[in-house]
Amino acid sequence: MLKVTQVPQQVAVEETFYIEGIASTEHIGKNLVLTVDNRYQFPGSVVKPDGTWRFAFRFLQQGDRAMEVAGSGEQIGFKILVTPTNPKPPSSPRLSFTTIPAMMMAEERFTLAGEAKDYPDGSELVILVDGKYEIARPRTSFQKWSTLVFFHQPGQRVVELVGSEQDRARVTLNIQPPRFKVSVMTRSTWINSPTPARIAALQPRRLTLHHTFMRPTLAASATVAQESQRMRDLYADHVNGNGWDDVGYHYIIMPSGRIFEGRSELRRGAHDVINDGLGIAFDGDYTRNTITEAQYQSAVQLCALLCYRCSIDNPLTLVPTPTDTFGTRLLPRIIGHRDRVATSCPGSEGGRTIRMEEIRQAAARLLRG
Ligand SMILES: [Zn+2]
């Protein structure tokens, strides 16, 4: 697999820009070759151990340019428009979008970036979608801004960058349907406040499964209203009880199979001490009882989606993993709380009650397609 994650649609002559992407493990350490207009070849980008790669490039002539990145028998093509001078959007002299990915899918995170001319470092900008939903608050640095975003719904979305009432920039993004069909009850289903922006940003490296241990476990026939109340109880437990900034987990799977969004995926969670990944909890106590079939099915779909979004190609691969209690261990990228911390979570018997190994294997199969 070879994929472009970042490429500008338009650049100016003599402007240095980057083409970034990811590649699957067989490409690691190998050279990729960039071909321009089917003629000019530029070797040089080596796929890094984490599977990322990057070309720095600069055009000397304007025009519509055909690009291709190739390696190990795979190639990916795209176009870049090279303009005589760096164009500014007429509506906004100071703010602009410069980086928009070639392909954007719902339920998949990607980076938007641009310029913020004359803004002091650390200025806060707001990104609004469809004129009403706030999805990010990037801060400026060296007169640029950059932020991770993701969309739940596919379709044409109007994205607006707001610095002040007078200073705005706008683009329309075409968000493709998601690769995995996972329906998530968004955070607004159960609470009005967003995850506080003061919590550190997260680039998830793995998934950790939990059970909430809240008793009694809800019935599989519970209504959305009852489950929403349950989310508020869990929130109160974590925020008022533990003194945390937000509910600890990123996703909670109810016995009905419905998945609730907890803490924003873009923020570091509070669930396995190290917190370098996403926390997914089965709601209830699975010390003796097993999860429902609906919970199992939702967990497999959700884990596959999150692995895909976090560029985890194979969740079965063992990687050195820091833990709280056991030093560094070789673990797969979908783990249980108990793999990192001396706890019985999620449930007992080595994860059998939550079907740990089955979830891991089924998510890996889905990812392989
Ligand atoms: Zn746990």
Q: For residue 212, report the distance from its CA to the centre of ligand 1, in Å.
A: 7
Q: Classify burial at 76, counting beta carbons within 10 Å of its beta carbon; exposed 0-12, middle 13-18, buried 19 or more.
A: middle
Domains in the chain with CATH codes = 1-86 (2.60.40.10), 88-178 (2.60.40.10), 184-368 (3.40.80.10)
Q: How open is the CA angle 295-297-302, to the nearest 5 degrees?
A: 90
Q: For residue 193, report the distance from its CA to the centre of ligand 1, in Å.
A: 24
Q: For residue 313, report the distance from its CA to the centre of ligand 1, in Å.
A: 24
Q: For residue 346, report the distance from its CA to the centre of ligand 1, in Å.
A: 6
Q: For residue 341, report the distance from its CA to the centre of ligand 1, in Å.
A: 9
Q: For residue 276, report the distance from its CA to the centre of ligand 1, in Å.
A: 14
Q: For residue 185, report the distance from its CA to the centre of ligand 1, in Å.
A: 21
Q: For residue 180, report the distance from its CA to the centre of ligand 1, in Å.
A: 26
Q: For residue 361, report the distance from its CA to the centre of ligand 1, in Å.
A: 21
Q: CB of 77 within 8 A of CB of 68?
A: yes
Q: For residue 279, report the distance from its CA to the centre of ligand 1, in Å.
A: 8
- pLDDT at site 86: 58
- pLDDT at site 145: 96
- The answer to whether residue 228 scores a pLDDT higher than 80 is yes
Q: For residue 253, report the distance from its CA to the centre of ligand 1, in Å.
A: 13
Quote the mean pLDDT of the chain.
Answer: 91
Q: For residue 206, report the distance from its CA to the centre of ligand 1, in Å.
A: 14
| The dihedral formed by the CA atoms of 156, 161, 162 and 165, expressed in degrees to the nearest 10 | -60
Q: How far is residue 346's CA from residue 369's CA, in Å, rounded to a whole number?
A: 28
Q: For residue 348, report the distance from its CA to the centre of ligand 1, in Å.
A: 12
For tokens 């089955």, the residue is: 358
Q: For residue 337, report the distance from its CA to the centre of ligand 1, in Å.
A: 5
Q: CB of 215 within 8 A of CB of 255?
A: no
Q: How far is residue 207's CA from residue 198's CA, in Å, rounded to a whole number?
A: 22
Mean pLDDT (whole number) for 306-335: 95
Q: How open is the CA angle 352-353-354, to the nearest 5 degrees?
A: 90
pLDDT range class, residue 179, cuts 50, 70, 90? confident
What percent of the chain is predicted at pLDDT more than 90? 63
Q: For residue 210, report the distance from its CA to the centre of ligand 1, in Å.
A: 4
CA distances from 114 to 106, 127, 133, 141, 146 (A): 21, 12, 20, 11, 6
Buried b (16+ CB within 10 A) or exposed e, 163-173: beeebbbbbeb
Q: For residue 181, report the distance from its CA to the centre of ligand 1, in Å.
A: 26
| Number of other residues whose CB lies within 10 A of the CB of residue 78 | 15
Tens of pLDDT, residue by residue over 82-132, are 988 755 555 556 899 998 988 898 878 899 999 999 899 999 999 999 988
Q: For residue 323, report the distance from its CA to the centre of ligand 1, in Å.
A: 13
- pLDDT at site 229: 98
10-19, 22-31, 123-132, 260-269: which has the highest mean pLDDT? Answer: 260-269
Q: Classify burial at 86, counting beta carbons within 10 Å of its beta carbon; exposed 0-12, middle 13-18, buried 19 or more.
A: middle
Q: Classify burial at 73, counting beta carbons within 10 Å of its beta carbon; exposed 0-12, middle 13-18, buried 19 or more.
A: exposed
- pLDDT at site 28: 87
> 185 forms bridges with which residues in the sheet?
260
Q: CB of 237 within 8 A of CB of 365?
A: no
Q: For residue 227, report the distance from its CA to the centre of ligand 1, in Å.
A: 19
Going by C-alpha positions, the residue among 303, 305, 337, 340 that lies closest to residue 320 is: 340
Tens of pLDDT, residue by residue over 354-367, are 999 999 999 999 99
Q: For residue 183, report the distance from its CA to the centre of ligand 1, in Å.
A: 23
Using DSSP's 3-state secondary structure scheme, residue 246 falls into: coil
Q: For residue 5, report the distance from its CA to the centre of ligand 1, in Å.
A: 33
Q: How far is residue 263's CA from residue 253's CA, in Å, rounded to a whole number?
A: 13
- The beta strand positions in 141-243, using DSSP E, are 144-149, 155-162, 168-175, 184-185, 207-211
Q: How open is the CA angle 100-11-59, to the nearest 5 degrees?
A: 135
